[in-house]
Amino acid sequence: MNASTLRSRTFLGSEPVKPYTAYRWARENYTRWGRLLDIWRFVLTWLFYLWLDQQAWSYGGQATPERKAKRRRARAIWIRETLLHLGPTFIKVGQFFSTRADLFPAEYVEELSKLQDRVPAFGYEQVAAIVQQELGKPIEQIYSYFDPTPLAAASLGQVHRAKLKTGEEVVVKVQRPGLTRLFTIDLEICRGIAEFFQYRTRWGGPGRDWIGIYEECRRTLWEEVDYLNEGRNADTFRRNFRDMPQIAVPKVYWRYTSPRLLTLEYLPGIKISDYEALSAAGLDRKVLARLGAEAYLRQLLKDGFFHADPHPGNIAVKPDGTLIFYDFGMMGRIRPGIKEKLMAMLAAVVAKNADLVVASLVELGVLVPTADLAPVRRSVQYMLDHFMDKPFSSSSDEISVMAISEDLYELAYDQPFRFPATFTFVMRALTTLEGLGKGLDPEFNFLEVAKPFAEELMNGSRPETETLLAQVSRQAAEFTSSSLSLPRRLESTLSKLEQGELRLRVRSSEAERLMRRLNNTGLGTIYAVLFATFFLSATQLFLAGHATLAIVTLALAVLAALALVRVLLKANGSERLM
């Protein structure tokens, strides 16, 4: 495959982009106050659009699904273009949210994904200057050939094809000029935005840890800016897959690598989302879908070191079917203790044991222990029964990672869940890979691949050669641990009973319905009395010649009437739900 073919299948895309110098963030004299104004203007304008789109009158008639979809598409295009104008930091944020279909409508996800294919490149003169600054020699003395036209332009840098003086074909990743200064300004502003969404909007609360997501983004983005760190990640990733020849990772040429410059082995391939080209090359797309899923599950459950940004631009395929992974700037790590807890939770999920699942979630820090976890336990048991008893198939009601993630986030609104930021990146990667798998193979089911893989890992963690004495010892230790903890649990329960802290919760749907109806009736009566009082007062004031006071009182009567209508509609809706 020649360079032009690779270029047509990487980030640049076919749509024209504006010159690099046309963007304000690329100017050297761009101030912090200018950034602050531009970023918050975007955020506040977006919030206004969100409010406006919820108002039926803004559609100039009936708010039909077609009109709403058209409006969402227009908003998504505006967001994509605005993020592109805001520069590398927000292009990266847009790429992150392009795989979060649990947060945004399909139109938003589709438009944000185009940020991966339309990123402006900077000039060759700047590239040559950066190479000389980092390596201490002019570009002509290091490379026998250096293509001035980039193969790909990403949000943080761009990639050029080159050839070393020693003859090796390489690609050189060059960081965007002024990126460190821009990151410093933008991330400080983003902290304020995260706090605003967490504490000042209805999108915050227990189910959305915006501060945690910001901190994880900040850490990973700074790591991604350091190309030495990316080179180390690539080496670690390649070592982890050294016994799996179906996975290829570019070799790092450390002699020609620095914090702003990364020289890698040239490994061309077909972009994994170019389905027509894969079929034309005679590759089995079903095999590729399964291989990609197994490779990521291995990263997550076995290695504890996973690619946190597996979008289509970072995965390619060799003509022999080997998967190539690119871009190791954003990697996730799972601590050894967490891996064991994840395996324990998987075992509990397979056994459909809600008690063990809840205990595992508490240990993982996903669930905050409260005085009463019974509602959480019931919700978890329902999810286990709903998903585990459902047959794996290719029908429209199949189980999917997307469905599970949506249910998890919906559950988080009512229960004491606190999803760590790492969990968000894992779910994002799993959702992305499931989407790629379905694009490669319409019958692909990620959970169908994950279940036997997880069972194999769990079986492998308990050797078959374990002796009978070892099994008895292990079970005796587990029994002893449970027995020793029993007196403490009994003592805690009796202590709560003595102090009056032990609570018994009894729920009655009929009683709750009656209480809700009485509450609505009481509010309705109050608003009706207020309306009648204000209306009669306004009439008397008008007849007495006090027009100004009459208008004020009449306005209060209108507000009381609107409140009454709202209560009646709410009561009617509650009755229908019951």
User: Which residues are tagged catalytic?
Assistant: 309
Do 440 and 272 touch, CB atoms closer than 8 A? yes
Distance CA 210, CA 194 (A): 5
Q: Print burial letters for 210-241: b (CB count within 10 Å at least 16), e (below 16).
A: bbbbbebbbebbeebbbbebbbbbbeebbebb
Evaluate the CA torsion angle 527, 533, 536, 538 in order and state its sign: negative
Question: What is the C-alpha end-to-end distance of the chain, expressed in Å?
Answer: 63
Tokens of 31: 């101030």
Pick from 214, 402, 437: nearest CA to 310: 437
- Distances in whole angstroms, Cα of residue 234 to Cα of each of 173, 221, 297, 429, 464: 13, 16, 18, 18, 34
Distance CA 288, CA 270 (A): 12
How many Å is the Cα radius of gyration of the chain? 29
Pick from 112, 113, 98, 93: nearest CA to 194: 93
- Distances in whole angstroms, Cα of residue 444 to Cα of each of 306, 419, 447: 22, 27, 9
Do 450 and 293 touch, CB atoms closer than 8 A? yes
Pick from 458, 429, 261: nearest CA to 341: 458
Angle, alpha carbons 167-265-288 (nearest 5°): 135
- 36 phi/psi in degrees, rounded to 5: -60, -45
* 205 residue type, one letter: G
Give residue 71's Cα distance to chain centre.
24
- 138 phi/psi in degrees, rounded to 5: -60, 155
Distance CA 150, CA 105 (A): 33
Q: How would you write 75-135 as a 3-class SS string?
A: HHHHHHHHHHHHCHHHHHHHHHHCCCCCCCCHHHHHHHHHHHCCCCCCCHHHHHHHHHHHH
- 284 phi/psi in degrees, rounded to 5: -80, 110
Evaluate the CA torsion angle 14, 15, 21, 24 in order and state its sign: negative
